[in-house]
Structure 1
Amino acid sequence: MLNPRASLRAAGLAVACGIAVTPAIALAEYPDKPVTLVVPFAAGGPSDKIARDVAEALRKTLNQTVVVENTTGAGGTIGTARVARANADGYTLLVHHIGLATAPSLYRKLGYKSSDLEFLGLINEAPSTLIGKPQLAPNTLADLRKLIAADGDKLNLANAGVGSASHLCGLMLQSMLKSKMTFVPYKGTGPAMSDLMGNQVDLMCEQATNSTPQIEGKKVKAYGVSSLQRSAVPALANVPTLNEAGLPGFNFTVWHGLYAPHGTPPAVLTKINTALRAALKDPELIKREEALGITVVTDDRLSPAGHKKFYETEVAHWGKIIQDAGIQPE
């Protein structure tokens, strides 16, 4: 194996002599310093937790320190722009969720284009749950649908802000029900969930990673899980999917992917993708993800090409839903 210092000396000598550095040398060098995973959301949230789990697993597969940094603001677009403008050397990577696919429809101006990023592979998917305040009368989705059909505009549907997973899930729910509800945006999941548990708002479609403890504690009512398959989490085992409970085809999952700046050397991209594949087989990571109801991706979307194709499908899918809802880009 080529010693990293030796490879650096070789690279320096090659540059001094006007000789191009070969991909083999670049690959041998990577990673010879800590790698940064940028999360475009606040610490402590679902994306941050997932990124830290992935960082720990990547540390083992890359045999290098992997640091998580939170760069928040503007629905995740500020952190994304930071990575898009970073040096294309594989040392600054992005962990982002479904919001990357909805941003083009929600914001007039972005500090980046999708072509500014290299797609490295999808990481995981997590369902959401449709939950209601404790005092909401219906106990089943069938009865809730009747209430929405009769008085939908009088029902408040809370979310964690424009472009959040709860907002997107609510838009999809409204689209499939063909009924208008009153959307109530909050500055984060915490205050929205607090008001729901306090009977200040009626409904919320929130990630299972956040809602499961409230369902388990009977602090909210659970009407359905947003994925096609029921959750394996014990607290959600008896909660039907929205698909089986009267909304055929309803399938909403919050996914996360890994990205690098455009122009990162192919050899480095391949090494990162290989490390990601190995990381997602880590038993400790899988155990932590499954405990939260999260499914680790194992299909073709784990490849760069499959990831990009899936992303493009999601951009088109959500673009139509957002347009049909009459939401104007900010």
Structure 2
Amino acid sequence: MGKRYRSPSLTRFISQDGQLNIVRRGVSGFHRGDLYHLLLTLSWGWFLALFSVLYLVSNAVFALIYLAGGDCIQNARPGSFIDAFFFSVQTMATIGYGAMYPRTPYANAVVTVEALAGLFGVAMATGLAFARFSVPTARVIFSRVAAIAPYDGVPTLMFRTANQRRDVIVEAQIRVTLVRNEVNREGEFMRRFYDLKLVRSHTSMFALSWTVMHQIDETSPLYGATVDSLAESESEIVVMLTGLDEIVSQTIHARHSFATSDILWNMRFVDILSRMPDGRRSIDYTRFHDVMPIESVRGNK
């Protein structure tokens, strides 16, 4: 079995959770046209915190506007910011007034503006929350390692993926790309991308596990590669899976990467498929990432 190489300075192009590890310089970190995209991609914690802060700040601003109009709120203590703030909350949320209500034309004008602002605010928050809930996501798992071993007499790169949901991903397609450092004839350094031809890159129904295989023959970019050559070129295997979720009928995608240290030589994945007594097939996810030496596979035959 080939040795495993680990480079502490090498950062993946795509992290194992599917995020891009790219630092963009020379461009603005935020553009006003990206506000909607930003609000959709924020975590739920930051999203709720942002709207909570905006809600409190907007009510505080309207409270100050009410105070600027003098004693314009009936039954509110003169000059009381607390009373003006809670009056603003009742107005913006269209709760309906109890003891406090506007008493001057100035207050009624501010109430009109605030009611309109509250209407737009609720509409925006509701729309964004619905959009965040409706964005389709994939629960696809990839094996932590990839393996290189003979398959039908040909050295083959293999890794596993599986759908963790109980539904089916329809028309699933997978693309695998080799990313490595190269220097061309002019001495220029570049990060090159090579698409790897797969034994099977498409499945009409992705419900069980899928062992993705690339045969390393004379046409493969990995032909003649070794542990040391992959480490020297900082090679990385990038995986992109797309398909159609049968429940929401929308396209979903998942991505993953294998660094040089994640590629094991002369190893095979253990079998995780079995049949239940009632005839149904079962997947043992507890052994999803397990591999064994090919000598052990031969000895079990």
TM range (shorter): under 0.3
TM-score of the aligned structures, taking structure 1 as reference length: 0.19
TM-score of the aligned structures, taking structure 2 as reference length: 0.21
Q: Report the structure, 1 or 2, having the larger helix content.
A: 1
Q: Report the structure, 1 or 2, having the larger strand content.
A: 2
Relative contact order (alpha carbons < 8 A, sep ≥ 6): 1 or 2 greater? 1
